[in-house]
Amino acid sequence: MDKLSALRARLRRRSPYGPLRRRIFWQLTLLGFGSLAFLCFEYTQMPRGIIARLGVALLQQLQGLDYWVAVDTYNRIVYGHFNFIFAALVLVVFFFFLRFALSWFMRYFTEIERGLDGLLREDGQAITFSPELQPMEKKFNTVRETLARRRAERQQAEQRKNDLVMYLAHDIRTPLTSVVGYLSLLAEAPDMPAEQKARYTGIALEKAQRLEGLVNEFFEITRYDLHEMVLEQSRFDLHYLLVQLCDEFYPVLTAHGNTVELRAPEALTVYGDADKLARVFNNLLKNAVAYSDAGTPITVEADVRETGVTVRVTNRGRTIPPERLNAVFERFYRLDSARSSDSGGAGLGLAIAREIVLRHGGAITAESDAGVTVFTVALPPAPPAPPAPQAELNPPLAES
């Protein structure tokens, strides 16, 4: 029974290149048998037979010899140098055998080279090989499709980035013009009433803050493309981090009419880069505020499971269509296709959050249904803490 199971397992593990191996085996076998048959024919027919009669006739035609003289001359040549002649024939047959074998092998290399050229083309045509190279054909076409998909994704990301830079450059001019205009009014009218001066100053400050946000988005784009992320991991209190982030968002939440509710155990410790993970939850909260309905609560829940720590950020607002749920984690993707100067960011927040979570060995997902959107971050469990050093049982006595 064990032998039968082993045989079945061996058959299942059979190489996909079996047809190619069989094709080469039979080609070489036929070529080898053909060469051997030719040598046997030469060996038997050269002293006496068809080859001998042809040799005698050739001597008669070229030298004008009598038949028996030609036979005697042929015998002297063949029997006197038989070993040399047969060895030369063996070498000739060997080189012909090698030449044909290499030609067959090179045909496969030519197909593979043509397939490599097909990977560089962008015409969308499928790569085709000989029937015995079907497994390689499938792999080449898979690579071709993967390269085409990545090329399209890069082009889309580059187009989004170019559009975003153009939008941000346009948006920067608007608050900058306002700041310059209101500051010019304040400079031209130093005796302006205090109430009007305070109003102009507030507007200029608001526009300057908007301008600062747009400049930060430019830096965000540059940082994302040029800097490599390095994690500095350690144990930290995730509950305290979430409390701190919720407190920091209080002014933004109040301005938008939202409230935040945190549900997390106090003894919640994770292992990771505290600054990077703070950025993750900051981006999720910012996204929840930007796309939630005014006056609705935002919930942050965290719990510990055997598989690790799970954090969920829930907001109520517009439902994200299923086809866009995966796209929200792409670079420079924004749910609002229309540009807005006062809401939305560079489309990098969720992409950066996903990269940070993946670097931690975790996963981030999104769900949206009936106006409720939930972003879930799953982090792996923290490694066991190293044992604390034990104190000496018998400490040395102090010298008197």
pLDDT (tens digit per residue) in 344-365:
454 567 877 888 898 899 999 8
Domain presence at residue 159 = yes
pLDDT level of residue 221 (50, 70, 90 thresholds): low
In a domain, 299, yes or no: yes
pLDDT cut 90: percent of the chain above it: 10
What is residue 343's predicted lDDT score, i.e. its pLDDT?
47
Whether 87 and 159 map to the same domain: the answer is no
Assess whether 185 and 258 both reside in one domain. Answer: no
Residues 173 and 285 in one domain: no
Q: What ranges in the chain are assigned the alpha helix state H?
A: 2-12, 18-45, 50-63, 67-80, 82-120, 134-188, 194-226, 238-248, 250-256, 274-290, 322-325, 349-359
Question: Which token pair is 26?
Answer: 């039979």
Is 358 contained in some domain? Answer: yes
Is there a single domain that holds both residue 109 and residue 200?
no
- The per-residue pLDDT for 71 is 80
- Helix H or strand E encompassing 52: helix 50-63
Q: Is residue 224 within 8 Å of 352, Cβ to Cβ?
A: yes
Same domain membership, residue 335 and residue 217: no
Residue 374 shares a structural domain with residue 257: yes
**Under DSSP, is residue 257 helix (H, G, I), strand (E, B) or coil?**
coil
Task: Return the residue matching tokens 């042809």.
Answer: 54
Q: Report whether pLDDT(170) > 70.
A: no
- Take residue 85 and report the two structure tokens written for it: 């002649």
Domain of residue 35: give its range: 8-120
Q: What is the pLDDT of residue 398?
A: 45
Which band of pLDDT confidence, cut at 50, 70 and 90, is reported for residue 196?
confident
Nearest Cα residue to 300 out of 317, 288, 318:
288
339 — pLDDT class (breaks 50, 70, 90): very low
Higher pLDDT, 239 or 117: 239
What confidence score (pLDDT) does residue 10 get? 60
- Indicate the SS3 state at residue 235: strand
Candidates 280, 282, 287; CA nearest to 359 is: 280
Q: Name the β-bridge partners of 372.
A: 316, 369
| Ramachandran bin of 49, using left for φ above 0, alpha for ψ from -120 to 50, beta for the remaining angles | left
In the chain, % of residues over pLDDT 70: 80
- Residues 249 and 352 placed together within one structural domain of the fold: yes
Of 98, 120, 142, at which residue does a domain stop? 120
* Same domain? 212 vs 251: no
Residues 6+ apart with CB under 8 A from 284: 313, 350, 353, 375, 377
384 vs 265: CA distance, rounded Å: 19
What total of structural domains would you count in the chain? 3
Q: Residues 374, 240: one domain?
A: yes
- Residue where a domain stops, chosen among 96, 120, 144: 120
User: Do both 176 and 308 map to the same domain?
Assistant: no
pTM attached to this predicted model:
0.49
Residue 135 lies in a domain: no
| Residue 45 sits in the same domain as residue 162 | no
